[in-house]
Structure 1
């Protein structure tokens, strides 16, 4: 179970890192033209970039606290926050884009984060 949780956290961290880097460093116009990026048209550049930085921090929060052994409780806390972020992403995609496939992808990320939060708060929590 521990190994499965590490793999799940690594996959979710990779998703968060890629999404965060793209939102932070790719121009908003280019994001808006990409599949699933139409939602960015309704938000400011600052909001999109801030969301990107939050995603980069989430990628770090899913891995680094456990690796360095400093405040490992931040791993399930980060996963829980990711669940909330994905709820917002699903609402945004369904409302703005009407693309169910992106909402379903967000649902998969939400499920992965919920699994990590459950596992790390519960049966495979890190020692204090």
Structure 2
């Protein structure tokens, strides 16, 4: 189980770090042009997008960096990112973007798996 938790954690961390970096570094129009599923950025200002990117990047780093120092931060970061993704799912729901809404639910489930696994099944010591 520990191996599965690490695989899921690292994949999520890499993906969210890349996504957060893109939001921080790219201007809003350039980020919007990256893909067809980026219509949600129309609901937010440029500064809000930078903050969202910072939250994603910080959460991604929190999934892996404190593992050897403060292990309790790993499941807390996973829990925080699950809550963050529920905000993303709410935006998708409000915009009637159902295919992407399902993707957000998958992320919530994966972050829940990591949090549950690290809190209860295989805590880091």
Please, what TM-score do these two structures have when normalized by structure 1?
A: 0.91
Task: Judge conservation of contact 1:86–1:110 (CA < 8 Å) in 2.
Answer: yes
Residue in structure 2 matched with residue 72 of structure 1 by the alignment: 71
State the 1:31 CA deviation: 2.4
State the 1:43 CA deviation: 1.1
Specify the SS of the correspondent of 1:85: helix
Residue in structure 1 matched with residue 3 of structure 2 by the alignment: 3
Residue in structure 1 matched with residue 124 of structure 2 by the alignment: 126
Residue in structure 1 matched with residue 21 of structure 2 by the alignment: 21
Residue in structure 2 matched with residue 47 of structure 1 by the alignment: 48
1:104 aligns with 2:102: yes
Please, what TM-score do these two structures have when normalized by structure 2?
A: 0.93
RMSD: 1.1
The whole-number CA distance in structure 2 between the counterparts of 1:15 and 1:102 is 16
State the 1:42 CA deviation: 1.8
How many residue pairs were aligned? Answer: 124
Unaligned runs of 5+ in 2: none
Task: Judge conservation of contact 1:20–1:52 (CA < 8 Å) in 2.
Answer: yes
